Structure formats: structure tokens, C-alpha cells
Amino acid sequence: MKGKTSLISQQMSVQRNRLAILAILSLGLSVAIVGQAVLLADAVQRIFVQGEALSSVVALLGALLAVMAVRSLLSYGNGRIGLNMAATAKRNMRSALLQNMIHASIPSAIRGQAGEKVSIALDAVDEADSYFSQYMPRMIEVSMIPVLILIVVFTQHANSGFIMLCTAPFIPLFMILAGLKTKNKSEEKYAQLAEFSGTFLNAVRGLVTLKIFGQARRQQQEIERSSMGYRDATMSILRIAFTNTFMLETIVMLSIGIVALELAIQLLIYKSITFHTAFLILLLVPEYYSLFKNTGTAFHTGRTSMGAIRKVEQMMVETDGKSQGLKEEQEGTRSGESRLDTIVMPPSIGLDHIRFRYLPDSFELCTPSITIGQGQNVAIVGKSGSGKTTLLHLIAGLLRPDSGEILVNGNLISQFAESEWFERMSYITQHPYIFAGTLAENIAIGTGRDVSRAEIERAASEAGLADLAAQLEHGYDTLVGEGGRGLSGGEQQRLALARAFLKRPSLILFDEPTVGLDLYTERILQKSLNTLAQGATMITVAHRLYTIQHADNILFMDNGVLVGSGRHDELLKTLPQYAEMIQVQREGGLA
Ligand SMILES: Nc1ncnc2c1ncn2[C@@H]1O[C@H](COP(=O)(O)OP(=O)(O)OP(=O)(O)O)[C@@H](O)[C@H]1O
């Protein structure tokens, strides 16, 4: 694994100006630290050793105060820059993550647990803070301040310099050993947090189902197990942190003790150094070690952050890899050869020997070569699980075939940018997603442009939603979706239709409701769909005999295979499975 993730490198290069300022401030800080020690040692020497009057050292004490003030200011400046760096880095990372999700291809966007994605985008990015606010400033400080202190000590008394030089490497060595473990533990912690978030969100979403099936208790235990896993991972990081701090304190205390002992021996027994030198070194030694100690703590936090950043990066790489196909499509569009607006609409859709599997050795969908004509009304029929929705998803571009091609007016669908394709297509699913917001806002997302209230109301009226809006106290401003008013299945589909009316698509993909709607709602839906389908190619996963009988072409799916196509009368004669299915439907009274 790379020591420094590329996300960090990116942030470093974006924020190199701040890094340069940090370096300058750290250099200033090192001069201030040494200056403060020299001035203090001078003052003590003159007052206590040479017995000078306090008034004669006023200027010296004034200078000392000024240096202390400058030192505080420089430390404050370092802290502020670190915080600003962290804030910018987090903002950039979240924005990159969001861009990644937005530009990911649909199959990759819907993969994985929503809770896990949320926890990475919020918690893991937050954890990155300390890398920039603590780790980086301390690392820059430790690369400058100890060097200057060592130079001063060596010029004053080489023995102390050697002791400091020899004992100091134990601190970074220990930091690295503990830090490596921390980074792995941190990644483990984020894996646990992601699992916990995923399980929790899943349980919250499916609470009603879990209660109905008496599984709430089991799910509670599952959440408990996963939260315990997260707690254990956090505690093991804290354990390393405490051990780390204890070890660092011990090393620092021992080292300072050795230097002080050596100074005392030289000063009192051998009398080879002056009090001023001994006192100056004694002032500088704690500064030297405390800097390493602080760096050690920052290193620990930094490694924890790196584990979290690694998680963010992994998620981005995964989405990047999966959206590679989309990028290729966009490249193709940029060449200018295959723009959808050069194609006569409504489109014809060709299926050229498509093969698709969700997973190896699982359900396989395959089709022969078949064309759905421009403006045709096509029904996909077959038993439950025969692959109707999968075929619709392949045509929509939500899934990509493993082999074979989907053609739009004879051109490969992969030549067109996903966004351009989706602009011309509406997919009305059985359960369209209703966002938390007003009815009007939910309809308006049907198009990428700004739409007027009049347009929204016209689309709603064409979709048969006007009556519902009129009944509501706040009309189109009624809150729907999560936290708002619920909508019935038929209302949800009419809302999806209203979105489609705003878009006026050239291709309509419709997943007909399997549950029986009342006759009134069905009529409204049918009427609206007929209006919408004028001048569009329409492909319906059909369950109602009425839709099937009126289709221009019927595609019959059997266990993943498109076994036949034709009009209702033709298929009745040529395809026994189809005749059997129709017979069953008639007997079921669905006719
Ligand atoms: N995301 C998925 N991963 C793996 N297998 C899947 C996935 N989605 C569907 N399948 C499987 O693919 C097969 C076809 O499913 P599909 O939803 O296309 O059938 P369908 O004909 O639309 O069924 P229904 O009429 O009941 O909606 C089924 O065996 C299903 O279990």
C-alpha cells in the first residue's frame, strides 16, 4: 500500500502556498524558540549569577517578552493555517466524492450500501481533518526546529548535542512502529463504521417489514453486533494511542534526565562549562523533546486520518473504475460523430444478440437479433423472473450487455453520452422515487432546465394529477416523500408520468403495475400514456391483457431467453407458451 495516498498528494499540491507559509512560520518559530531560551538564560545569568540590578536588565526582559509574544503569534499562525488547510481539504474531498458519485455510471451508482457511502462521505472525510490541521504542521515544525536547536547545542556543548542526537531517533522509530499499526486499525475501524451505518440505515428503511415478519429483534441484535464491532475497533485504536503516549513520555523523560545529569556532572564536578551554557541547554532540551513528543501524538492522529482518507479514496477509485465506460462514451461523443440530435426521433431500438448475466453462473438473458421500429408500441411479456425488467434495464442503458449490442437507429448506444441518452428517454418504474420536497419540485425534476409553475401544472394535469393537487390544502406546494405526505401506487406513477410530460421523451420505457389499480386510475394512466406515447417509441413490461393485445409487437421472454416476437394474433398461433400464458390470464379473469 502506498504510504501517502494520491488524494493527500493532490491536496498537498493544491495547497502548496499554505505549505510554504507553514514552512516560513516554522522557521520563524525555531528562531523564536532559540531566541527566547538565549534571552532567558542571559537574564538569569545577569540577575542571579552576576548580581546585576533588575533595572539594568529591563531592556533584556522587554526583548524576552517581545520574543515570547512573537512565538505565540507564530504558533497561532501555524494552527490557523493548519485548520484552514484541513477545511479546504475536506471541502475538496467531499466535492470530489460528490462529483464522482454524480458522474458514475448508473450500475455503479446503485451498487453498494447507501449507509456505507454516507458514512464515508461524512465521517471518514471529517477524520481527514487532523492530517492537515495537526500532522502536517507538526511534521514541518519537526523538520526545522530541532535542527536549529541541535546546531545551537552543538556550538555550546557537543556532549549534550550527541546525547540529544542519539536519543531522538527512538521517538520517530517508535512513532513509525505504532503508526503503522494505527493506520491498519483505522482502516478496520472505518470498515466497521461503514458496516454499522449500512446495517442501521437498512433496518430503519425496512422497519415496517421487519416488524411484520417478527424480525425486529434479530435486526436489533445485528445492529448491536455491528456497533460492538465498531466500538472494539475504536477501543483498539485508543489502546494504541494510550500506550503510544506512555512510551513517548518515558523516552522523553529519560532523555531529558540523561542530558541534565551530564550537564550537572560537567558543571559541578568537572567545571568544564559555565552556568549560562548549562542553563541555556537545559532550557532548549525540553523544547527539543516536547516537539518530538507532540509530533508523535500528531503522527498517531495523522495515521488514523490516513486510514480514513484511504477509505474515501477506495470509494472514489471504485466509482472511477466503474464509470470508465461512461468516460469512454463521453469521449466518443466528443469526437462529434455520434450526437443523438443528428438522429431521427423517435428512435428504433435494435437488440443484436445480447447476452447478460448479473453474476457468473447465474440467470442469463439472451436475445436474437431483433428491431423495435420507430414509434412502435412494444410489450415485453413473460412469467415472473423471466427477465423482462432486466431487458428493459439493458435497453435503458442502466445495465451493459456482456456481449452483443444495443442499437439506436442502427448506431451503437455506447457511442452516445449517457446524459444525452437519458435526456431523450423516460423510464416510468412501478415505484418511482419520490424525493422529500413539494409535489411541484418532484414533478420539476423531470427536466434538467428551469420550469415555470404553469408548465408543471400543465404536465400534472396531462398526467391526471390535477385532481389530487386540487384536493390538497397546499396544492402543488404540499410536501411529499420522506417526512411529507405519502402517495398511493397509482399517484406515484402519475407523478412519474407528469415528470415524463415535462420531458416529452422520444423513448418511453414503462413498467406496468403488477398490482391491480382501480378502473378509474387505470383509465387515467392509460389515457395519459397514450398522449405521451404519440410521436415516441414505447416499450412496456406488460401485465395487462389490454396492453398486450394492443401492442404493435410483443417480445416473449422465457427463462431469460427472448423466444419469440410478433403481434398478439401471430404469437397465439406460433408460440404455445404465449397461448398458454394468455389462457391462464383469461381464466384468472384479468381480461
Ligand atoms: N441485481 C440482481 N442481481 C442478481 N440477479 C438479479 C438481479 N436482479 C434480478 N436478478 C435475477 O434476474 C432474473 C430476472 O429478473 P427480472 O427482474 O428481470 O425478471 P422479471 O421478468 O422482470 O420478473 P417480474 O415480472 O417478477 O418483475 C431473476 O431470476 C432475478 O432473480
Task: Determine whether the shortest distance from the Cβ of 389 to ligand 1 is under 6 A.
Answer: yes
- pTM of the predicted model, to two decimals? 0.63
pLDDT at 364 over 80: yes
* Mean pLDDT in residue range 340-346: 71
Dihedral over Cα of 478, 479, 484, 486: its sign: positive
Is residue 425 helix, strand or coil? strand
Task: Report how far ligand 1's centroid is from the alpha carbon of 510 (Å).
Answer: 16
Q: Are residues 398 and 273 in the same domain?
A: no
Mean pLDDT, the chain, integer:
84
Q: How far apart are CA 204 and CA 487, in angstroms?
A: 20
Task: Tell me whether residue 325 is in a domain.
Answer: no
Check: CB of residue 412 under 8 Å from CB of residue 325.
no
Q: Which of 318, 348, 370 is the last residue of a domain?
A: 318
Residue 392 Cα: closest atom of ligand 1: 18
Tell me what pLDDT residue 54 has: 84
Do 457 and 470 lie in one domain? The reply is: yes
Check residue 588 and give its pLDDT.
65
CATH of the domain at 233: 1.20.1560.10
Provide mean pLDDT across the span 285-293.
89
pLDDT beyond 90 at 186: no
pLDDT tens by residue, 552-584: 999 999 999 999 899 999 999 998 989 988 888
Phi, psi of 397, rounded to the nearest 5 degrees: 90, 10
The DSSP code for 590 is -
Judgement on whether residues 415 and 454 belong to the same structural domain of the protein: no
440 and 416 in one domain?
no
Query: 60 exposed, middle or buried (CB, 10 Å; 0-12, 13-18, 19+)?
Result: middle
Domain span at 347: 337-424+507-591
What is the spatial distance between Cα 510 and Cα 530, in angstroms, rounded to a whole number? 12
What pLDDT shows up at residue 152?
Answer: 94
Residue 197 confidence (pLDDT): 80
- Is residue 75 domain-shared with residue 111, that is, in the same domain? yes
User: What average pLDDT does the segment 525-550 reach?
Assistant: 86
Between the CA of 381 and the centroid of ligand 1 the distance, in Å, is 14
Q: Is residue 5 one of the residues assigned to a domain? A: no
Q: Which residue has the CA at smallest separation from atom 27 of ligand 1?
A: 384
Q: Ligand 1 centre and the CA of 382: distance in Å?
A: 12
Question: Which are the contacts of 294, defined by CB distance < 8 A and separation ≥ 6?
Answer: 138
pLDDT band at 386 (very low <50, low <70, confident <90, very high): very high
Predicted pLDDT at 336: 40
Angle between helices 145-156 and 16-44 in degrees, nearest 10: 30
497 has a pLDDT exceeding 90: no
For residue 389, the CA-to-ligand 1 centroid distance in Å is 7
In this model, does residue 209 exceed pLDDT 80? no
Considering only residues 336 and 31, tell me which one the structure prediction assigns the higher pLDDT. Answer: 31
Amino acid 181: pLDDT: 72
pLDDT, average across residues 346-361: 90
- Pairing mode of beta strands 537-541, 507-511: parallel
The Cα–Cα gap between 466 and 443 comes to: 12
Pocket-testing residue among 111, 357, 361, 363, ligand 1, by greatest number of atoms within 8 A of Cβ: 363
Cβ within 8 Å of residue 544, ≥6 positions away: 512, 522, 590
What residue ranges in 128-171 does DSSP mark as E strands? none
Q: Residue 492: pLDDT above 70?
A: yes
388 lines ligand 1 (CB under 6 A): yes
Residue 537 exposed, middle or buried by CB count within 10 Å (0-12, 13-18, 19+): buried
Residue 4: pLDDT band (50, 70, 90) is low
What share of the chain in percent tops pLDDT 70? 91
With a cut of 0.85, is the ipTM above it? yes
CA–centroid distance, residue 106 to ligand 1 (Å): 17
Task: Name residue 396's amino acid.
Answer: A
In a domain, 588, yes or no: yes
Which of 104-108, 136-140, 310-314, 525-529 is modeled with the greatest confidence? Answer: 136-140
Q: Which residues pair with 59 in a beta bridge?
A: none
Q: Whose CA is nearest to atom 5 of ligand 1?
A: 358
Q: Are residues 414 and 541 in the same domain?
A: yes
Average pLDDT over residues 538-556: 90
Q: Which three cell numbers stand for residue 168?
A: 531522538
Within a domain: 2: no
Do 345 and 493 fall within a single domain? no
Question: Which position has the higher pLDDT, 154 or 318?
Answer: 154
pLDDT on residue 417: 79
Distance CA 517, CA 497 (A): 16
Are 260 and 347 members of one domain? no
Query: Is residue 545 located within the same domain as residue 444?
Result: no
Q: What b/e sequence results for 288-310 when a residue is b if at least 16 CB atoms lie within 10 Å of its CB, and e otherwise?
A: bbebbbbbbbbbbbbbbbbbbbb
384 touches ligand 1 (CB under 6 Å): yes
Q: In this structure, is residue 10 part of a structural domain? A: no
- Does ligand 1 come within 6 angstroms of the Cβ of 357? no
Closest of 557, 587, 553 to residue 570, by C-alpha: 553
Question: Residue 3 above 60 pLDDT?
Answer: no
Do 267 and 191 belong to one domain?
Answer: yes
Of 355, 358, 380, 511, best ligand 1 pocket probe by most atoms within 8 Å of the beta carbon: 358
* Buried residues in 387-403 as b, exposed as e (16+ CB within 10 A): bbbbbbbbbbbbbebee
509 Cβ partners below 8 Å, 6+ apart?
392, 395, 396, 425, 426, 427, 428, 538, 539, 540
Alpha-carbon torsion, ordered 267, 270, 271, 274, to 10 deg: -50
Q: Which atom belonging to ligand 1 lies closest to the Cα atom of 514?
A: 25
Counting from 1 in the atom list of ligand 1, the atom nearest the Cα of 543 is 25
C-beta of residue 107 within 8 angstroms of C-beta of residue 400: yes
In the structure grid, which three cell numbers stand for residue 451, read together? 420550469
| Angle of the 275-322 helix axis to the 216-264 helix axis, nearest 10 | 150
Distance separating alpha carbons of residues 129 and 140, to the nearest angstrom? 17
Contact 520, 492 (CB under 8 A): no
Number of structural domains found in the chain: 3
> Cα separation of 90 and 123, whole Å?
11
Region 536-562: mean pLDDT is 91
pLDDT value for 584: 83
227 domain residue, yes or no = yes
Q: Are residues 396 and 522 in the same domain?
A: yes
The answer to whether residue 443 is domain-embedded is yes
Residue in this structure with the C-alpha cell 446524459, named with its chain if needed: 419
pLDDT of residue 519 exceeding 50: yes
Based on the fold, state whether residues 404 and 437 are members of the same structural domain. no
- Residue pair 487/434 in contact (Cβ under 8 Å)? The answer is yes
Residue that terminates a domain, selected from 263, 286, 318: 318
How big is the chain by its Cα radius of gyration, in Å?
35
| Cα–Cα distance, 96 to 321 (Å, whole number) | 15
DSSP 358: S
**Predicted confidence (pLDDT) at residue 339 exceeds the cutoff of 70:** no
Whether residue 328 is contained in a domain is answered as: no
Q: Of 453, 482, 504, which residue is a domain's last? A: 504
Tell which wins on pLDDT, 337 or 133: 133
* CATH number of the domain that residue 371 is part of: 3.40.50.300
**CA 247 distance to own-chain centroid:** 37
Instruction: Kindly tell me if the per-residue pLDDT of 335 is higher than 60.
Output: no
